[in-house]
Chain A
Amino acid sequence: MSIVKHVGDRIRELRTSYKGRKLSQEELARELRIATNTISRWETGTYRPSIEDLEMLARFFDIPISEFFPQEGPPPRDTRLNALLRGAKNLNDDDLSDVQRYLDFVQARTAYERPRRKSQSRK
């Protein structure tokens, strides 16, 4: 299964189980202020949501962005978090969770990026 299809399936799953009820595509689109068609096309894998779109969805569903992707083993969170907690003395829980969100975002983007095409040199 392609990653775009997997992501689309996850969006549908999250939408249909949102707070114990089924959120329609129209409702989700209204909440996110985007077109209903876009949600539909994300779910069917017709459109590839950008990594920023996924972050927006992750915030809406209140999940880490990594949950949109196939799990290939746990991310090395412990060391990163320890490093953060060592460095962050004045931060509250909200600030730390925002930091964690960014680190998850960076990791997800690296995994989600399309492989770069090799440039073809002219002969």
Chain B
Amino acid sequence: MNATAYYEMLKARARELRQEREWTQPRIGLREIKQLCLEKGIEKIDLWPPAKCRTAKKRTKVRGIYAPNGGRPCVMVNRHLPKEQRVFTIGHELKHHLFDVDGDAPMLCETKVQNNAIEIGAEIFAAELIYPDADFCRDLGDRGVKPGACTAEDLVRLKHDTGTSLSCAALAKKAYRFNFAAKDAFEKAAWKKIELQIFGEPDYLRFRRRRTPQR
């Protein structure tokens, strides 16, 4: 099987899982994806380091680990990741659980995705599980975005309006793949800044600022 066929097979499986779970929206919560993993035989999903370990190193390049653990598989998710990236990472590790188990060898997923079919496949699977390509293309098309003319603002608006759990960076990758934008068009996009410019300060930040006493 060549790489393209392999990736298509993974995407088809991701869509099947969405159908099984009756997921129709591109917004998948932590609870939903954890539930799916538990149903598929993953025993535990651990946020790492444990909350009690205050002395733990803050930053690590490891996003997640899939550990077969002698038939009692566990998934580690980096506690310091934002919620959306946690969802994505769990989806990524689910792919390893479903397709890549090789004896008892654990699988590591770094913040920088390795350039091999297994890891790229896991990224594609997770992205499709959360927001299928067909839905992405349809939603962008519905907004009047033409191939080659997609801007960072379009993606930020898409994310905001659909409420998808995919990050803007992940949406950008989809946009490249379907030729909505030229390669590396969003390389220097400051997603948070653009979001702030378009939608203003989110409520939670405003409330947080109000509650913090001014000095």
Same complex: yes
Interface string of A65-99 (1 = CB under 8 A from B): 00000000000100110011001111110110011
Interface residues of A in 9-44 (CB under 8 A from B): 33
- B69 & A106 in contact (Cβ 8 Å cutoff): yes
Please tell me if B188 contacts chain A, counting CB pairs below 8 Å.
no
- B62 & A95 in contact (Cβ 8 Å cutoff): yes
- A106 & B54 in contact (Cβ 8 Å cutoff): no
Please tell me if B51 contacts chain A, counting CB pairs below 8 Å.
yes
Assuming the A-B contacts A90-B61, A106-B67, A106-B74, are A59 and B55 also in contact, with contact meaning beta carbons closer than 8 angstroms in the complex?
A: yes
Q: Could you tell me the distance in whole angstroms from the C-beta of B211 to the nearest C-beta in chain A? A: 25
Report which of A33, A52, A95, A98 forms a contact with B50, defined as CB distance below 8 A.
A52
Query: What class of interface size applies to chain A in its complex with B?
Result: 20 to 34
Q: Which residues of A contact B2 (CB under 8 A)?
A: none
- B55 & A60 in contact (Cβ 8 Å cutoff): yes
- B67 & A88 in contact (Cβ 8 Å cutoff): no
- B69 & A56 in contact (Cβ 8 Å cutoff): no
- A98 & B55 in contact (Cβ 8 Å cutoff): no
Interface string of B188-210 (1 = CB under 8 A from A): 00000000000000000000000
- A56 & B50 in contact (Cβ 8 Å cutoff): yes
B contacts with A: majority SS: loop
- A98 & B60 in contact (Cβ 8 Å cutoff): yes
- A95 & B72 in contact (Cβ 8 Å cutoff): no
- A95 & B61 in contact (Cβ 8 Å cutoff): yes
- B53 & A94 in contact (Cβ 8 Å cutoff): no
Q: Which residues of A contact B110 (CB under 8 A)?
A: 88-91
Report which of A59, A79, A110 forms a contact with B56, defined as CB distance below 8 A.
A59
Instruction: Please name 29 pairs of A and B residues whose Cβ atoms are closer than 8 Å in the assembled complex, sorted by A.
Output: A52-B52, A52-B53, A55-B50, A55-B52, A59-B53, A59-B56, A80-B104, A80-B106, A84-B106, A87-B107, A87-B114, A88-B110, A89-B114, A90-B110, A90-B112, A91-B110, A94-B60, A95-B60, A95-B61, A95-B62, A98-B48, A98-B49, A98-B56, A99-B62, A99-B108, A102-B76, A103-B106, A106-B69, A109-B44
Task: Kindly list the 7 A-B residue pairs having the minimum CB-CB distance in the complex, ordered from nearest.
Answer: A83-B105, A52-B50, A56-B52, A87-B108, A106-B74, A102-B76, A95-B60
